[in-house]
Structure 1
Amino acid sequence: MSEYLLEARDLHITYGPKHAVRGVNLGVRPGETLGVVGESGSGKSSLGRALVGLERWSSGSVRYDGRDLSPKLKLPRAVRLDLQMVFQDPASALNPRRRLGRAVAEAAAARTGTLPGRHELVALFAHVGLNDSFLDRYPGQASGGQLQRVVLARALAVRPRVLVADEPVSALDVSVQAQVLNLLCDLREELDLSIVFVSHDIAVVRHMADRIAVMYQGQVVESGDAERIVADPGHDYTRSLLDAVPDPDAVRPRALTS
């Protein structure tokens, strides 16, 4: 039996003649954070979307909790709820005409079948560091960092087991980035979440992840313990990512500082 809760096995994703993901093998264990790092075009976002059933794959397999998922994006309802994704731009993930509380309530109802009461929503928002005034706001009445917290609350409302976060802080300024990263660290510990953290920034990934997989031109060129990868990279591409970081400690989540 596999040690991984969610994994890709020899995964290939193509868009016409373009081969976006080439034979990727990786997985995330229960309660672990796996960092997937690479530049734009490396295939990391396509991989992340495939892991939660939002992207078709050409060959290979995605397995969740010991069973193969369908490449035709027809996942069982329970599996869809267990695998949640947080995108780079929170504003585009929210309906601008729907109050934030309603957006989270509808997500919670997908798991339970009934809309939660206001007190339950207040608790959900408090869990991500937002007060009850945000329940009645529209997306245009909140900052980028606040909206990313709402998106996290919406994902957590369905009680997932795995969270795939695709560049969740790249559109935020440095101080807000640290707040959101701290929140993700705290939530992982409190809820025993498995997280696949997708980013172009190896400095951020270093401090978020237990293990790192480095992607280049659709392939995983190096993977292993996060600190080992950073301290002793074995691939030229990994070294180039590290050389491009002006200050490795510029964004360092509180929860993972020594």
Structure 2
Amino acid sequence: MTRTAIVTGAARGIGAATAIRLAADGNAVAVLDLDEATCAVTVKTVTAAGGRAIAVGADVADADAVAAAVDRIADELGAPTILVNNAGIIRDNLLFRMTENDWDSVISVHLRGAFLMSRAVQKHQVDAGWGRVVNLSSTSALGNRGQANYAAAKAGMQGFTKTLAFELGRYGVTANAIAPGFIVTDMTRSTADRLGVEFDDFIEHMAKEVAVGRAGHPEDIAAAASFFCSEEAGFVSGQVLYVAGGPTS
């Protein structure tokens, strides 16, 4: 059975890899990001492999934009029953330097965005009697210097996930979270830039702290999302999976 998936923040990085993987699993995929044009490469990759995908531009923190995007996706691809809330930004700084805008923008994209998207999609999931929600958390949810806003948002994603699992389970909908460790993406490149170090050196340094001896890649997270979105994962809900190459503390 072909299902429709929405992946937010899917123009690049973890979101793009997840959209491509879910398409390979046989789902039609809406590749959603702030700027529709930036989704073209991900969509082309999916369609070149024989899959179905559309690019959708929307601000996940804007309720009207989210409603319009989900309606469009339902019309063009079919009712969405798989949702991966991946959209996110960083505005790192130590607490005394962090501005109110730094705080508000990060909380808004991550938490408000996940809330608005989940609320819009759950109607289709409940009608179908089946659904999957995967929320992207982070090892930063455990606390990370210079990321008070991001850590709070990612910890909030875990509580949000567990609550969705309780509320939606009776309708055949599961909700799980993935908490990546160090993943090689444009976002982690920006962290290296902020610290004033070469990205390759940053990767090498971070990999030394990982039990398996390497940095993670977007495809590692996509593989975990693929499982959570599968038929076989129907008895797994409310879980937080740390995909970090080793134990977390």
TM superposition score normalised by structure 2: 0.34
With a CA cutoff of 8 Å and minimum separation of 6, indicate the structure with the bigger relative contact order. 1
Larger Rg: 1
| Structure whose residues are more often strand by fraction | 1
| Structure whose residues are more often helix by fraction | 2
TM superposition score normalised by structure 1: 0.33
